[in-house]
Amino acid sequence: MTNGSTDIVDQPTGFRKDYGIDNESFDVGDETAEGYDKNISVAAVDQWALPELKVDFTPWSELNGCQKLKRLIYHYILTIALLLVALYLFICSLGFMGDAFKLLGGKTAGKAFQDSTTLSNPVAGLMLGVLATVLLQSSSTTTTIIISMVAEEVITVKLAIPIVMGANIGTSITNTIVSLGQIANKEDFRRAFAGATVHDMFNWLTVLVLLPLEVITGYLDWLSSLLVESLQLKADKEADKDFLQVIIGPFTKLIIQIDKNVIENIAKGKNEYLDKSILKTCCDKTKEYFNGTVSEVLNGTLVNSTKELRVSCKISCKYLFRSVANVWSDSAIGAVLLVLALVIMCACLIAIVKLLYSLLKGQMAVTIRKFVNANFPGKVCGYFTGYLAILIGAGFTLLIQSSSVFTSSLTPLVGMGVISLDRMYPLTLGSNIGTTATGILAALAQDVDKVPHALKIAFCHLFFNITGIVIFYPIPFLRLPVDAAKFLGTETSKYRWFSIVYLFLMFFIFPGVVFALSEVSWIALVAVFVPILVIVVIVTVIKFIQAKKPGILPRKLQDWKWLPEPLRSLEPYDRAVMRTTRNCICCRKCGCCKGVYIEEVPSNELELKQNVDERGAVVTKF
């Protein structure tokens, strides 16, 4: 206490955050009956600044020869080797999870693409893209299917654009799931969840702007057509190569092999594939021609051919699930594979986080963090650092051809405080651009006469992401995805169960409800969501004014206390969750249902009392 004021900056973090005073200032005065001293001065604290790293390693120069050798072998070489193994198995688990979802819902997703009436509704197409990508666990698979359908003229580029937008949204579910690996530590989880959801927020906000613009003007369709006509690119059958599959394929093919052609052909309307298994059974087929009459399309014209193709299996596939392929259904195998994938993923996530914590200690962590988050010198040059990060993100994603793997690998580092959220944002944007290369390569792998149509939709995907970056990155105050991600990170760190609710709500329930309503009619969709949208806009505007200039609002609108508690806070739901999970050992161990502990703050000026709330949390009262 100096000159009648108390500086709370050095008090425990939980005290400041849980009373919501970490960024506010109070003038010196008498204590009120309800709570804190109106005279308390609190310095502004940026909770999103990178945390201070503890350098608890003995410096290298102070070690003797034996200690240096021991640290080199055990701490660096062995830890890095184990980290690479864990990362490899984690990537494999993502592949297994994608294959599991293909077995569980691949045919359903394929059949959904057949309905041209549904696809003619842009909102339904958008939600179909989200749901299909979540089911297939791969935006690359979804976009490849769409590109093949456009190439075969099953659907037009105009109808395909909303689906590709939806695929862009659906792919961000993976790193959101990965962030749950740090749910046990409140602060790490806050940063990790924000780092993961910045991808979600960018995709959703870009869709909110560009989908209406595309419906009204056809901007993406026109721009991609203009580029394709000017480039005159040729087909390249060797273009559609997946670098990541070259690395993980030798292992994953020992466990499961999927025939993606079945899903693609179902989507193209070839119903004879509905009865075929998605599991790959033949790894080497022989083709024979014999006399017969069949119809085929040549240069867009239906002609009769006197040759008929007969395909026979020369070498049967061998993998772990092949022995039960004829006994179990695709769904049963998919369910078992999904459980296996989740177990491997969880184990690898825990191992990766622990190994990173072990590796990134001492001066190494400080050096890496300084390098990754460094800016170019000077204010003007420093502004362009983010654009370099975008190029780096695009380059790495282009190399591995998977935005999910790239962003998922960075998410734990954001949680640990090695990468800042402001640096994660441009890396994610670059990843969004890099992943479009898969679609372009798939388009170039089509037949010569089909390449232009396929390239149009592939370039639409590219321009969609570039336009989103132009809107939401160059001007700092328009970087709304970062602000939205910070809000989500803060809320989910307070109520960790909300992260699970968010996951199901944003990727399953909301797209499913919107898709169902759009299937009924436009009137049903508008009647339900226009009032909701109006309320969201009004609340957002009022909250913005409350934060910036609350004095211009009527006294009642300067806060939300006049609303019932369930309409303005998650606290009632949190209490219900705590009561429900009070005796759940799993929930307590994982940390998703832990109460918030508020530590006692010793002070000569404030009378502090400690009570235990119904969640078992120590609550400090004035």
Does pLDDT of 622 surpass 80? no
pLDDT for 22: 41
pLDDT above 60: residue 83: yes
Please report whether residue 22 resides in a domain.
no
- In a domain, residue 556? The reply is no
Q: In this predicted structure, what is the pLDDT of residue 229?
A: 81
Q: Is residue 224 part of a domain?
A: yes
Domain that holds residue 139: 74-281+317-520
Which residue type occupies 147? I
Distance CA 113, CA 604 (A): 69
Q: Which residue has the higher pLDDT, 476 or 38?
A: 476
Q: Does 321 fall in a domain?
A: yes
pLDDT of residue 466: 94
List, for residues 410-439, the tens digit of each pLDDT value: 888 898 888 899 999 999 999 999 888 878
The fraction of the chain above a pLDDT of 90, given in percent, is: 14
Strands 609-612 and 618-621 come out as antiparallel
Asked if residue 42 has pLDDT above 50, the reply is no
60 in a domain, yes or no? no
Does a structural domain hold residue 193?
yes
* Four-CA torsion 168, 409, 201, 545, nearest 10 degrees: -170
Q: What's the number of domains the chain is made of?
A: 1
Determine which of 207-221, 259-273, 483-497 has the lowest per-residue pLDDT on average: 259-273
Query: pLDDT band at 532, cuts 50/70/90?
Result: confident
From the list 2, 17, 194, the residue with the least C-alpha distance to 601 is 17
Tell me how far apart the alpha carbons of residues 138 and 452 are, in angstroms, rounded to a whole number.
24
Mean pLDDT is highest, among 286-290, 441-445, 568-572, for: 568-572
Is 209 within 8 Å of 230 (Cβ atoms)?
no
Kindly list the distances between the CA atom of residue 359 and the CA atoms of 25, 75, 154, 425, in Å, as whole numbers in the listed order: 40, 7, 52, 24
- What pLDDT shows up at residue 616? 43
Identify whether 265 is part of a domain: yes
Q: Tens of pLDDT along 106-146?
A: 777 666 666 666 778 888 889 988 988 887 777 777 887 78
In a domain, 266, yes or no: yes
